[in-house]
A = this chain, B = another copy of it.
Amino acid sequence: MKLVLVDDDKLVSASLKTILSADPEVEVLAIGNSGKDAQELYFKHHPDILLMDIRMDGGNGLDAGKQILAKDPNANILYLSTFVDEDYIRTALAIGAKGYILKQDFDSILPSLRAVASGQKVFAGEIVEKIPTMSLEEIVPYQQFDLTDKEFELVQKVAEGLSNKEISGALYLSEGTVRNYLTIILEKLDLRDRTQLAVFYYKNQWDKL
């Protein structure tokens, strides 16, 4: 299990490395101390998991994670935080991170890494209990790209393979409007054409909720 660790407290990141490296399965490829580091190291080493602090001096972990996931939707990013902060958790989920665990939960870090490595999402028990107000299901990943609901509807139609004319019929819009929407959407997602949009849709598993 190849890891990259990022924490702006060098003591923490170093300790983590020491502790985690004790396990023969674990290999720490690199250590960083800022969001910027996270991006560089991620794309340099392509670790199985990027274990990262959220609150950091040099650019926060959430923005960095968002950018990494924009380029590589399959990146496994596991956040390690000191606090149970609802906004943080919400955002972490929204950008598609694989989990949010607490530094205090010392013993659970390694098992959590394993879980993520095997494709699970993992959240500290405290979180699930403490925040029943959050409906995890409702957190829609597309909000991360500032798509409106209507825009997302359009995306879905494109991802079904409909033409602009067909979409205009399905959504009761003029064909011209559909095109305008498309232009906006492609702009927001930094894509070139409807085919890339469909590809993006399935690669990011937007078809699964």
A169 contact set on B, CB distance < 8 A: none
Q: Say how far A175's CB is from chain B's closest CB, in angstroms.
A: 16
What mask results when residues 166 to 209 of chain A are scored 1 for a CB within 8 Å of chain B, else 0? 00000000000000000000000001111110111011000100
* One of B159, B191, B192, B203 near A199 (C-beta < 8 A): B159
A192 contact set on B, CB distance < 8 A: 161, 163
Interface centre among A159, A198, A203 (most CB of B within 10 A): A198
* One of B158, B160, B161, B195 near A161 (C-beta < 8 A): B195
- Determine how many copies of this chain the complex contains: 2
A199 contact set on B, CB distance < 8 A: 159-161, 198, 202
Interface range on chain A (Cβ under 8 Å from partner): 10 to 19
When chains A and B are docked, how far (Å) is the Cα of A195 from the Cα of B194? 7
Q: Say how far A116's CB is from chain B's closest CB, in angstroms.
A: 20
A163 contact set on B, CB distance < 8 A: 192-193
When chains A and B are docked, how far (Å) is the Cα of A159 from the Cα of B202? 10
Q: Say how far A187's CB is from chain B's closest CB, in angstroms.
A: 16
A202 contact set on B, CB distance < 8 A: 198-199, 202-203, 207
A159 contact set on B, CB distance < 8 A: 199
When chains A and B are docked, how far (Å) is the Cα of A193 from the Cα of B165? 14
Q: Say how far A185's CB is from chain B's closest CB, in angstroms.
A: 14
Q: Say how far A162's CB is from chain B's closest CB, in angstroms.
A: 9
Known: A159-B199, A161-B191, A198-B198. 4 other contacts (CB 8 A): A161-B192, A161-B195, A161-B196, A163-B193
Question: Which residues of chain A have a CB within 8 Å of any CB of chain B?
Answer: 158-161, 163, 191-196, 198-200, 202-203, 207
Q: Please list 8 pairs of residues, one from A and one from B, whose beta carbons are closer than 8 Å in the complex, sorted by A's number.
A: A159-B199, A161-B191, A161-B196, A163-B192, A163-B193, A195-B198, A198-B199, A199-B202
> Lowest 7 A-B CB distances belong to which pairs?
A202-B202, A161-B196, A161-B199, A195-B195, A198-B198, A194-B195, A195-B198
